[in-house]
Amino acid sequence: MFSKTFSPAILAMIAFAALLCMGQVAAAYENSTMEDQVAEIEDIEWDPNAPHNGTHSLQKRGPRKLIQRRSAFTYYWIASQGDYKGGKADTWVGTCGGKRIAKVNKKFAEALHMEGSGIVSGKVINLGGCGCSYSKSKGYMCFDILSKKKFPFGQTSRGTPLRPFTSIASNDLKAGHKIYVPELKGWSLPGSKKRHNGCMRVEDQSWSFDGRHIDFFSLTKKNYNILDKKHGLTHINIYDGGNCKLLKYM
């Protein structure tokens, strides 16, 4: 064993080298920490309906699986007499059993048949299980009168309540499956204080289109006109909804 004494100049160089090494270690740690933060941020999305108090503005989500790319996007709604004013009330709508509900103008009667659900004389009606063809003498005698408490916004083809801005119709996505559509995220919605979070559920079917197409339930034709004019959305990317939250907008 032996001891050695270093000059002040050499000690200064050793100290400088040590500080330089420590700086490189700190920079490497900082870069690693930043990468971890980016990875974490990428797994977080803003909740547009969160209170602005800094406590619930973020929500966790995992990576979403793309189900369909560039699928067609359209709207549907329940027919309302207010959207089809004018014209002579010359067409009956009634139940499958032949009970007359109301006499309306033909344009409104055709809309009821097309949309499947509507409000007539204060009653919520939906296409019944019988055949539905127009007769000049009888009109459209093919509807069921629904419970307004259970079906305030109409009924899907699967017998579940329609939910504004949440229910969608699809012919090639599994019934009950939640989907996430990023193009809708943050939309302000007519008649609602909440913004859309992009989460919807397949609850209906349509006879007016085939696959790679969803119909978005806007409740009214007026709502459709507002949203279509503002966004002009015709095609979307559809992701698996996973644990996305279905919100009650109305």
Question: pLDDT per residue over 145-159, tens digit each?
Answer: 999 999 999 999 889
Please determine, for residue 37, whether its predicted confidence score (pLDDT) is greater than 80: no
Output the pLDDT for position 38: 32
Output the pLDDT for position 39: 31
Output the pLDDT for position 53: 44
Say if residue 63 is in the same domain as residue 100: no
Task: Give backbone dihedrals phi and psi of 129, rounded to 5 degrees, phi first.
Answer: -85, 0
Under DSSP, the state recorded for 184 is G
Output the pLDDT for position 133: 87
Is residue 83 situated within a structural domain? yes
**Residue finishing a domain among 102, 131, 152:** 152
Say if residue 124 is in the same domain as residue 168: no
Output the pLDDT for position 29: 45
Is residue 5 situated within a structural domain? no
Express each pLDDT in 77-131 by its tens digit. Answer: 999 988 888 889 999 999 999 999 999 999 999 999 988 899 999 999 999 989 8
What is the average per-residue pLDDT within 154-179?
95
Say if residue 148 is in the same domain as residue 181: no
Say if residue 122 is in the same domain as residue 239: no
What range does the domain containing 109 cover? 79-152
Express each pLDDT in 217-241 by its tens digit. Answer: 999 999 999 999 999 999 999 999 9
> 115-137 burial, b for 16+ CB within 10 Å, e for fewer?
bbbbbbeeebbbbbeeeeeeeee
Strand intervals (E) in the chain: 44-46, 58-60, 66-77, 79-80, 89-95, 100-105, 117-120, 123-127, 140-145, 167-170, 178-180, 199-204, 213-219, 235-240
Say if residue 190 is in the same domain as residue 110: no
70: left (phi over 0), alpha (psi -120 to 50) or beta: left
Output the pLDDT for position 36: 36
Say if residue 94 is in the same domain as residue 202: no
Task: Give backbone dihedrals phi and psi of 18, rounded to 5 degrees, phi first.
Answer: -65, -45
| Closest residue by Cα to residue 132 from 146, 156, 153, 115 | 115
Is residue 105 situated within a structural domain? yes
Say if residue 67 is in the same domain as residue 174: yes
Is residue 44 situated within a structural domain? no
More confident residue, 182 or 29: 182
Say if residue 162 is in the same domain as residue 67: yes
Please determine, for residue 30, whether its predicted confidence score (pLDDT) is greater than 80: no
Say if residue 244 is in the same domain as residue 165: yes
Is residue 34 situated within a structural domain? no
Collapsed DSSP state (helix, strand, coil) of residue 246: coil
Alpha carbon of residue 123 to chain centroid = 27
Task: Give backbone dihedrals phi and psi of 165, rounded to 5 degrees, phi first.
Answer: 65, 10
Say if residue 227 is in the same domain as residue 106: no
Say if residue 139 is in the same domain as residue 165: no
Output the pLDDT for position 72: 97
Is residue 171 situated within a structural domain? yes
Domains in the chain, number? 2
Could you tell me the pTM of the whole model?
0.72
CA-CA distance, 80 to 154, in Å (whole number)? 11
- Whichever domain contains 185, its CATH number is 2.40.40
DSSP one-letter string for 94-131: EETTS-EEEEEEHHHHHHHHHHSEEEETTEEEEE-SS-
Say if residue 214 is in the same domain as residue 238: yes
Output the pLDDT for position 11: 53
Is residue 6 situated within a structural domain? no
**Residue finishing a domain among 137, 152, 167:** 152
**Residue finishing a domain among 111, 127, 152:** 152
Please determine, for residue 41, whether its predicted confidence score (pLDDT) is greater than 50: no
Please determine, for residue 189, whether its predicted confidence score (pLDDT) is greater than 50: yes
Is residue 14 situated within a structural domain? no
Mean pLDDT of the chain: 82
